């Protein structure tokens, strides 16, 4: 119970702290990938407009007829050739691959992208509203303290004790 209360009280602060960390990671990643677009294209990788790095892994016919797990393990093995170019850029530790089968092509699309869960518009709007409510309640409490001269009463109590 205490953990959940503490969580809800600190949510505006922790969300925005993590949001700015993820925004910084995303901004540096997309800037770095766009600057090194030609180097990535040499290794058959492409960069889209938001900085995601993606490549296509073609499946040979003998693997194409096998089970989906075997196809995915082949794709994982082939992703090693992309790892060297990502390592040269220094982003291999920050990106996570996402594999999507290209229907009818016998290939997989592999997208390399850092995990940025908090860069979601709905989460941003919800936490903006929550932060506004939190700030407004804090403002009301301070106004209540000023209106009823609570600060003066606390100061008088402390001075009478001393």
Per-residue pLDDT, 2: 61
2-6, 23-27, 68-72, 76-80 — which is least confidently predicted?
2-6
Per-residue pLDDT, 67: 82
**Confidence class of residue 129 from pLDDT cuts 50, 70 and 90?**
very high
Mean pLDDT score, 66-74: 84
Mean pLDDT score, 104-116: 88
Please, what is the average pLDDT of the chain? 87
d(CA 14, CA 7) in angstroms, rounded, equals 9
């Amino acid at each position: 119970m205490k953990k959940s209360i503490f969580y809800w009280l600190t949510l505006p602060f922790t969300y925005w702290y993590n949001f700015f960390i993820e925004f910084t990671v995303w901004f540096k990643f997309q800037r770095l990938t766009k600057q090194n677009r030609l180097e990535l294209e040499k290794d058959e990788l492409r960069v889209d407009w938001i900085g995601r790095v993606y490549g296509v892994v073609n499946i040979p016919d003998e693997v194409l007829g096998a089970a989906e797990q075997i196809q995915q393990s082949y794709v994982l093995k082939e992703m090693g050739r992309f790892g060297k170019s990502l390592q040269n850029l220094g982003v291999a530790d920050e990106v996570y691959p996402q594999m999507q089968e290209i229907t009818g092509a016998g290939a997989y699309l592999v997208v390399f992208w850092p995990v940025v869960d908090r860069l979601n518009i709905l989460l941003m709007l919800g936490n903006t509203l929550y932060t506004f409510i939190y700030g407004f309640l804090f403002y009301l409490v301070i106004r209540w303290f000023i209106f009823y001269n609570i600060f003066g009463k606390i100061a008088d109590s402390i001075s009478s004790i001393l």
